Amino acid sequence: MILLDVPGITNLRDVGGIPAGASRIREGVLFRSGNLAHVGPDAHSFLTERVARVVDLRDDTEASAEPCALPGLRIDRIPLFAGSVASFLLGDVSLAGLYRHIVEDGADRIVRVVRILSAGEPTLVHCTLGKDRTGVSVALALAAVGADREAIVEDYALTASQLPESRNRAIAKWLEERLPIAHDAIAVATQSPAPVMRDLLKGIDEQHGSAADYLLASGLTRAELEALGTSLVG
């Protein structure tokens, strides 16, 4: 993967270069990031020159609080949670539990994301931080086309180092003041441990056979799965 330094876009990278069998994930096809609510001239230039489509995984409350206006780009809103992000933090769910919820209850929406990626246009997938919803969606798309498992996990784990420390401190303070007994909430909001993603993908393999089988069982067609491979691998 390739870290990209574009002012106004946090946690931005191109997942191109990840090994996939004897090939690699194409560069310039799948980007991931935090939200795009604060794009300036540099970020706007990057988006209009290198991205054709944006997938926004945030819930309605998040999108309303920090709207993204990006003229010239097609933006697909696909809220990946049935509820809001706040509801999960207040429920003190673990990261593993959060990701199981995404995979089990959001399968149809993950398929919608993957279907867009299968079209082959340069696409940027984002949520608020580019960590959880983005991390799960991108990991499943990469796993479905045979990307190296440890490279997928490494790409996911990279996020924690890309989050602004000032933001993490503010989140931790907010949670400690409002939810002092919520032991897992700070981890959910700030961390991306490799074992969590490794275990999630292993669990999908055990339950469904593979990430590709999970997507097929959730509504993706075989033609779309083949198109995903053509789009991402080369």
CATH number for position 200:
3.90.190.10
Distance of alpha carbon 185 from the chain centroid: 19
Tell whether 224 is covered by a domain.
Answer: no
Query: Which residue has better confidence, 101 or 23?
Result: 23
The pLDDT of residue 103: 95
Contacts of 173 (CB under 8 A, 6+ apart): none
Tell whether 66 is covered by a domain.
Answer: yes
Choosing from 127, 138, 141, 163, the catalytic residue is: 127
Q: Is 127 a catalytic residue?
A: yes
Confidence of residue 134 (pLDDT cuts 50, 70, 90): very high
Confidence of residue 94 (pLDDT cuts 50, 70, 90): confident
Amino acid at position 34, single letter? G
| Crossing angle (nearest 10°) for helices 149-157 and 194-208 | 140
| pLDDT at 217 > cutoff 80 | yes
Tell whether 15 is covered by a domain.
Answer: yes
Confidence of residue 70 (pLDDT cuts 50, 70, 90): confident
Asked if 157 and 193 count as a contact pair (C-beta separation under 8 A), the reply is yes
Tell whether 229 is covered by a domain.
Answer: no
The pLDDT of residue 98: 86
The pLDDT of residue 136: 96
Q: Are β-strands 74-77 and 53-56 bridged in parallel, bridged antiparallel, or unpaired?
A: parallel
Provide the domain limits for residue 57.
Answer: 2-219
For the chain, the domain total comes to 1
The pLDDT of residue 129: 85
Joined together, the tokens standing for residue 96 give 């593993």
